[in-house]
Structure 1
Amino acid sequence: MEPVTDATDLLALDRQVCFALSVASRSVIGLYRPLLQPMGLTHPQYLAMLALWQYEPLSVKELGELLQLDPGTLSPLLKRLQALGYIHRERNAHDERALVVTLTPEGRRLRSEAEKIPPAIVARLGMGLEELQDLHRVLTRVIEATHTTPGRQDD
């Protein structure tokens, strides 16, 4: 297929950051699927487990903020993790309005299996650790830029 635009076209598909990010995201998440499947996890559930392994216990609100997910997306994800036996959700004893998420013993044991995933992804990408850390820094800057309102200074 021959391009109908010249190399300076601002709307050329192959020059779009959004397109590159979208394809890269789908491609990388696709690498996780076969690694997560034996654990019964989807990629969003894996991210929730990562947050819990690092910060448990967490309120549902805190977990949603960490994962940048709204309650409508997070609630079914947590129900599935609970059905798998990996987490408990209980009302906070000090604040009945808040739900606290904790890991079950099975959820804690799953961590050792999940420790095999990052090295497998790094190997599959064929990129050096330094290059991946640079990519992470750049993507973090992109995320921060999208969460900042122009003209507003965040502390």
Structure 2
Amino acid sequence: MAEIESGSLQLGKQTDAPRSPEEAVLDPVPNPHPDTLYVTRFVCPEFTSLCPVTGQPDFAHIVIDYVADKHLVESKSLKLFLGAFRNHGAFHEGCTVDIGKRIVEAIRPHWLRVGGYWYPRGGIPIDVFWQTGTPPEGIWLPDQGVPPYRGRG
């Protein structure tokens, strides 16, 4: 088993919540199977941020799929990073794409996609999708499993 690298690793430590996504640290940890292509999925069904215009809360179901290279993103650091958006004002598109780009910057995966399934604002649900390119050939890539918003209809 690969050793966990030291540095800013937050795992196993009392860690204060970051005040903003920019201050949050995403910790890379060694991939135990760097010679194997496989998909890792993180789901955050209760993601929150703030509308940058009104300051009102926005809610989303975020799904992150990636194919790791040398590193994985450590889940506690990801949880703290996603939680840092709670008091952060940004449009849905900004939050969704920023999440994907920060993970790519931290771990340099073979491939990543993020789906932001936002609950209605002003009666209009907004879904935002971003990926780094074509998924590697031969991986099993399931549907993200979030149905389109249907309201009560």
Of structures 1 and 2, the one with the larger relative CO (CA 8 A, separation 6+) is 2
User: Which of the two has greater strand per residue?
Assistant: 2
TM bucket normalised to smaller: under 0.3
User: Which of the two has greater helix per residue?
Assistant: 1
TM-score normalized with structure 1 length? 0.22
TM-score normalized with structure 2 length? 0.23
